[in-house]
Amino acid sequence: MKKLKGIDGKLDDAWSELVKLQWNMRCARCRKAEYLNSHHIFSRSARSVRWDTDNGICLCAGCHNLSSSFSAHKTPTEFTYWLEGLKGREWIEALSKKASNTVKFYKSDKEDMLKSMRDEIALLKEFD
């Protein structure tokens, strides 16, 4: 995936770091603590939830896209069933509804989101 520059790239980086911290730097499925990725549940192209940490889950590289027996990308049906068991059907439906919204973020909105994410990152690191 191409790394973006500017505010979108900074938001992507902050989102990724925050998702990992919210999952205590462990894979949500197998609990490994290395080779961690932040996975978008609904695609990054769903702008309404692109930088929403509810739309993220921390996965190790295997559970994210390397394993052919279970991974978010190679076995998406199994991943979806597992996620439903973890978070619940209502949670997934609410996130799906949010992901289907059309939004327009202005530069000031993005700057506010970035500041908020960085504040939360600092807070989580403080208590780590």
Per DSSP, the three-state class of 60 is strand
Confidence of residue 3 (pLDDT cuts 50, 70, 90): low
pTM equals 0.93
22-42: per-residue pLDDT in tens? 999 999 999 999 999 999 999
Spatial separation of the C-alpha atoms in residues 104 and 25, rounded to whole Å: 31
Contact call for residues 125 and 25 (beta carbons, < 8 A): no
69-101: per-residue pLDDT in tens? 999 999 999 999 999 999 999 999 999 999 999
Tell me what pLDDT residue 113 has: 98
Confidence of residue 1 (pLDDT cuts 50, 70, 90): low
